[in-house]
Amino acid sequence: MEKILDIVEAIAHEKGLRPDLVKSALKTAFVQTAKRVINNKFAFEAQIDDATKTMKIVQTITVVADDDAKLEDEEIAPAYISISDAREYDDQVELGDELQIDHSLEDYGRTAASSLHREIEYHIQRLVEDEIFNKYKSKIGTLVSGRVTRVDAQNATYIEVDEIRAILPMKSRIKGEIFKVGDHIKAVVRRVNMDKENGIQIELSRTSPKFLEELLALEVPEISDGTVIIEKSARIPGERAKIALISTHPQVDAVGATVGVKGVRINAVSKELIGENIDCIEYTSIPELFVSRTMSPAIISSVEIIKNEAGENEKAIITLPSDQKSKAIGKSGINIRLASMLTGLNIELVENDNKTDANGSEIVEEQKDGVDALEALFN
pLDDT given for residue 354 in this prediction? 45
Taking the alpha carbons at both ends of the chain, their separation in whole angstroms is: 76
Which of 193, 134, 195, 138 is CA-nearest to residue 166? 193
| Burial zone of 172 (CB within 10 Å; 0-12 exposed, 13-18 middle, 19+ buried) | buried
Q: Cα(212)–Cα(218) distance, rounded to whole angstroms?
A: 10
To which H or E segment does residue 247 belong? strand 240-247
Q: Are strands 98-103 and 54-64 parallel, antiparallel or unpaired?
A: antiparallel
The listed CATH number (2.40.50.140, 3.30.565.10, 1.10.3720.10, 1.10.1060.10) that belongs to domain 141-203: 2.40.50.140
Give 256-321 as a DSSP string. HHHH-GGGHHHHHHHHHTTT-EEEEEE--S-HHHHHHHHTTTS--SEEEEEE-TTS-EEEEEEEE-
Residue range 4-136 forms a domain whose CATH class is alpha beta
Task: Let me know: does 174 contact 274? Beta carbons within 8 Å.
Answer: yes
Domain-wise residue ranges, the chain: 4-136, 141-203, 208-283, 286-379
pLDDT given for residue 362 in this prediction? 39
Q: Digits of tens for pLDDT over the chain (379 positions)?
A: 557 778 888 888 888 898 889 999 999 999 999 989 988 888 898 988 777 778 889 888 888 888 888 887 777 777 888 888 888 877 888 888 888 888 888 888 888 889 999 999 999 998 988 888 999 999 999 999 999 999 998 889 999 998 889 999 999 999 889 999 999 999 999 999 988 777 889 999 999 999 999 999 999 999 999 999 999 999 999 999 999 999 999 999 999 999 999 999 999 999 999 999 999 999 999 999 999 999 999 999 999 999 888 888 889 999 999 999 999 999 999 999 999 999 999 999 999 864 333 233 333 444 444 445 445 544 5
Q: Cα(102)–Cα(95) distance, rounded to whole angstroms?
A: 20
pLDDT tens digits for 256-311? 999 999 999 999 999 999 999 999 999 999 999 999 999 999 999 999 999 888 88
What CATH number does the domain located at 208-283 have? 3.30.300.20
pLDDT given for residue 372 in this prediction? 55
pLDDT tens digits for 14-31? 888 988 899 999 999 999
Residue range 286-379 forms a domain whose CATH class is alpha beta
Other Cβ atoms closer than 10 A to 246:
16
Domain 141-203 and domain 286-379 have a common topology: no
Whether pTM > 0.85 for this model: the answer is: no
Q: Cα(241)–Cα(196) distance, rounded to whole angstroms?
A: 39
pLDDT given for residue 2 in this prediction? 58
pLDDT given for residue 357 in this prediction? 34
